[in-house]
Structure 1
Amino acid sequence: MLKKLMAKLGVGAAKVDLQLDRSGYRLGETMTGVVRIEGGNVEQSISDLSAVLMMKAYVKGQEVRKAVQLYPVRSNFTVQPKPAVQEIPFAFELPEGLAMSTPSIQYFLHTKLDVEMALDPTDMDFIQVLPPEPVERVLQALERLDLRQKQDSGKLTPYGQEFSFFPATQLGMPLKELEVIFFSAPGELKLLVELDLATGFLRREVEYKAEIVVPQGLLQPGQEEELSRFLLETIREYANNPSVIPYVSMAAYRQGQYGHHSHRGSGMGGMIGGMAAGFLGGMLLNEMMFGDEEMASEDDMGGDEGDDGGFDFGGFDEEL
């Protein structure tokens, strides 16, 4: 009787330990492993065993945690006293549209063993959300060009995850900063970029927006140098001759014409990190983002002076 009472209070109760086969997975991949349950001092009835993928983000200096997805594992079973051990395999699909792991965005699996009439044993395991291979290749290509990521690179904006770079060496163009949001769709990868250029005698900063469509052939293994060369030539041409930047309707991306809300099942593709931005945006929209401001509706293709905020689609430049 004493052992049962103590187990209800968590002393000598069953223990749960989720064990991942790998520490990191790419967007859309399946996380695999086992949930290991060690029996305690007494037999215990389990009503539910589940894991929740949690996102922890630092937004404007505040830590925010948000549940991303619940993964049921097993329900209504019994854990025998020690030395009994159960290992339950699992396969959890990592959702599309999540932001990649960065110093300011982290993920973990919170595992819970729901014990009837007792304290619930839990476990927490951090997991790295890795970029899709095409995105990883572009990030590596930019690094080869000596474009270094800024300290706050990878932050969330209302439109997806934004990566910020500065040139560590002279690249033959007046580039001060490059901001990139990735848009992926079947058969293509687009970079929505903002180029911050130092122009004129006073070297005033002016922003220009552009879309770069990366040829699929350059995203294949063995094409690393060609990919870097393509990106350098395209960025250099735009930076040195802003008048040649082709028009692209940023409002179309904002309004979802290009599949911005693909995580809801459109299958058209979407912004990398758009799902995560939606999670946080829904919770913090009024309090931390807009205030009394409204998003501008008109397209804005560039030529904005003095704006050092986040990626600006149509005049809105607030990060989450």
Structure 2
Amino acid sequence: MLKKLMAKLGVGAATVDLRLDRPAYRLGETITGAIRIEGGSVEQRISELSVLLMMKVNVRGQEVTRPVHTYPVSRSFTVQPKPFVQEIPFAFELPAGLAVSTPSVQYYLHTKLDVERALDPTDLDPVQVLPPEPVERVLNALARLDLRQKPDSGKLTPYGQEFSFFTGRPLDIPLKELEVVFLSTPGELRLLTELDLAVPGRFGGEMERKAEIVVPQDLLAADREEELSRFLLDTLRTYAENPQAIPYVSMASYGQPPHGHQGHYGHHGHGMAGMIGGMAAGFLGGMLLGEVMEEIGESAGDMFEEAGLDFDFDGFDEL
């Protein structure tokens, strides 16, 4: 009787341990592993065994933790006392719209054993979310140009996840910083970029130019990173030297912005809008963005207004 009472309080109860097949997975891949359950001092009835994918982000110095999805693994079974051991395999697909793992965006798996009328054993395990291969190849191609990611690169912004770079060595263009938001649409990868350019003759002076870069699919092949690097450098050079070459970006292509505002991105159509609340299909980091903002007390309108955007896209400002 005492053993049953203690088990209900968690002493001598069954334990649960999730074991991943590997520590990192790409967006869209299937996470696989097994959950090891060991019996305690008494028999215990389990209502449900589930795994929660949790996201922890840092926005404006505030830490926000949100469940991404709950994956049921098993229901209504009994765990016998020691030396009972059971391993249950599990598998689930990572959603495509998540932000990837960076210093400001982290993920873990919360395994929960729902014990009837007792304290529930749990287990927490970190998991790294890697970018899709096309995005990773662009990041690698930028690294080949010695464009290095800044410490806060990969933070969440009103547009999704933004990657920011500084030049590790002088290029043949006056580029000081580069900011990139990735948008994946059927059959193509788009980079929504902001170029911070040095102004000749003005100490510390700079100008901003914003442009969309559509990456040719053939350059995203595994063996073409050098050619991809040249394409990106040539495109950045063209946009830096000739702003009239920057393609116009229409808001209508990706939906209408809230509050009836209209705007543009770049100078000459494609575009983006409807990012809030994960509504922007294809934007890296768009999933759960609205919920994160809600948790820190930001409305969709406030988020844009405080960023100083007013839908004219004057910059990728941090939240």
Per the normalisation by structure 1, the TM-score is 0.88
Inter-partner Cα distance in structure 2 for 1:258 and 1:244: 16
For structure 1, which runs of at least 5 residues remain unmatched after alignment?
A: 305-309, 312-316
1:217 is aligned to: 218
Instruction: Please say if residues 262 and 270 of structure 1, whose CA atoms lie closer than 8 Å, have aligned partners that are also in contact.
Output: no
Instruction: Please say if residues 100 and 285 of structure 2, whose CA atoms lie closer than 8 Å, have aligned partners that are also in contact.
Output: yes
CA pair 259-86 structure 1, distance change in 2 beyond 3 A: farther
1:290 is aligned to: 302
Report the aligned-residue RMSD: 2.7
2:182 is aligned to: 182
Deviation at 1:278, TM superposition (A): 2.8
Inter-partner Cα distance in structure 1 for 2:253 and 2:58: 29
- Identity among equivalent pairs (%): 67
1:172 is aligned to: 172
2:265 is aligned to: none
- Measured against aligned partners, the alpha-carbon deviations of 1:219-240 in whole angstroms (never above 9, x if no partner) come to 0021111001100111111112
SS in 2 for 1:275: coil
CA pair 26-205 structure 1, distance change in 2 beyond 3 A: same
Instruction: Please say if residues 109 and 125 of structure 1, whose CA atoms lie closer than 8 Å, have aligned partners that are also in contact.
Output: yes
Q: Which moved more, 1:277-286 or 1:143-152?
A: 277-286
1:270 is aligned to: 282
1:111 is aligned to: 111
1:314 is aligned to: none
Instruction: Please say if residues 251 and 299 of structure 1, whose CA atoms lie closer than 8 Å, have aligned partners that are also in contact.
Output: no
Query: What amino acid does structure 2 have at the position aligned with 1:231?
Result: L
1:36 is aligned to: 36
Inter-partner Cα distance in structure 2 for 1:291 and 1:223: 39
Deviation at 1:174, TM superposition (A): 1.2
Deviation at 1:263, TM superposition (A): 12
Deviation at 1:291, TM superposition (A): 7.2
* Mapping 1:50-89, distance limit 5 Å: 50-89=50-89
* Mapping 1:1-320, distance limit 5 Å: 1-203=1-203, 204-249=205-250, 252-253=253-254, 255=256, 269-286=281-298, 290=302, 293=305, 298-300=311-313, 311=316, 317=317, 319-320=318-319
CA pair 263-209 structure 1, distance change in 2 beyond 3 A: closer
SS in 2 for 1:95: coil
CA pair 107-138 structure 1, distance change in 2 beyond 3 A: same
Inter-partner Cα distance in structure 2 for 1:92 and 1:77: 21
Deviation at 1:252, TM superposition (A): 4.5
Per the normalisation by structure 2, the TM-score is 0.88
Inter-partner Cα distance in structure 2 for 1:259 and 1:242: 20
Inter-partner Cα distance in structure 1 for 2:254 and 2:242: 24
Inter-partner Cα distance in structure 1 for 2:227 and 2:92: 36
Inter-partner Cα distance in structure 1 for 2:2 and 2:37: 22
Deviation at 1:269, TM superposition (A): 4.6
Inter-partner Cα distance in structure 2 for 1:283 and 1:71: 23
Inter-partner Cα distance in structure 1 for 2:93 and 2:303: 36
Instruction: Please say if residues 277 and 288 of structure 2, whose CA atoms lie closer than 8 Å, have aligned partners that are also in contact.
Output: no
Aligned pair count?
305
Inter-partner Cα distance in structure 1 for 2:128 and 2:311: 38
SS in 1 for 2:183: strand
Inter-partner Cα distance in structure 2 for 1:224 and 1:291: 36
Instruction: Please say if residues 250 and 299 of structure 1, whose CA atoms lie closer than 8 Å, have aligned partners that are also in contact.
Output: no
Inter-partner Cα distance in structure 2 for 1:200 and 1:265: 41
Instruction: Please say if residues 20 and 33 of structure 2, whose CA atoms lie closer than 8 Å, have aligned partners that are also in contact.
Output: yes
Deviation at 1:246, TM superposition (A): 1.8
- Measured against aligned partners, the alpha-carbon deviations of 1:204-254 in whole angstroms (never above 9, x if no partner) come to 221111000000000002111100110011111111222321211257447
Instruction: Please say if residues 276 and 300 of structure 2, whose CA atoms lie closer than 8 Å, have aligned partners that are also in contact.
Output: no
Query: What amino acid does structure 2 have at the position aligned with 1:199?
Result: V
Query: What amino acid does structure 2 have at the position aligned with 1:66?
Result: R
- Measured against aligned partners, the alpha-carbon deviations of 1:97-127 in whole angstroms (never above 9, x if no partner) come to 0000001110000011111111110000100
2:264 is aligned to: none
Inter-partner Cα distance in structure 2 for 1:286 and 1:71: 29
